[in-house]
C-alpha cells in the first residue's frame, strides 16, 4: 500500500511516497521515494 507523507526537515518541507511491505522475517517495513520539495509560497 502506498501513501504520500509530508516531512519537515529544518525550514523545508518535503513530500515522499511511502510503500509498506513485510520483509522475509514477516516484520513490517517502509520504502520511501522522494517526490519533491514544497515551496513556502
Q: How many domains does the chain have?
A: 1
Residue 35 to residue 22: CA distance in whole angstroms: 23
How far apart are the C-alpha atoms of 31 and 33, rounded to whole Å?
7
Is 80 exceeded by the pLDDT of residue 41?
no
Q: Please write the tens of the pLDDT for every residue from 8-40.
A: 999 999 999 999 999 999 999 999 999 999 987
Residue 3: pLDDT over 90: yes
Choose between 23 and 1: higher pLDDT.
23
* Residue 39 DSSP class: P
Instruction: Report the chain's C-alpha Rg in angstroms.
Output: 13
Domain that holds residue 20: 2-39
Amino acid at each position: 500500500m502506498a501513501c504520500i507523507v509530508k516531512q519537515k526537515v529544518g525550514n523545508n518541507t518535503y513530500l515522499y511516497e511511502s510503500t509498506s511491505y513485510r520483509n522475509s522475517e514477516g516484520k513490517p517495513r517502509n520504502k520511501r521515494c522522494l517526490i519533491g520539495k514544497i515551496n513556502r509560497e
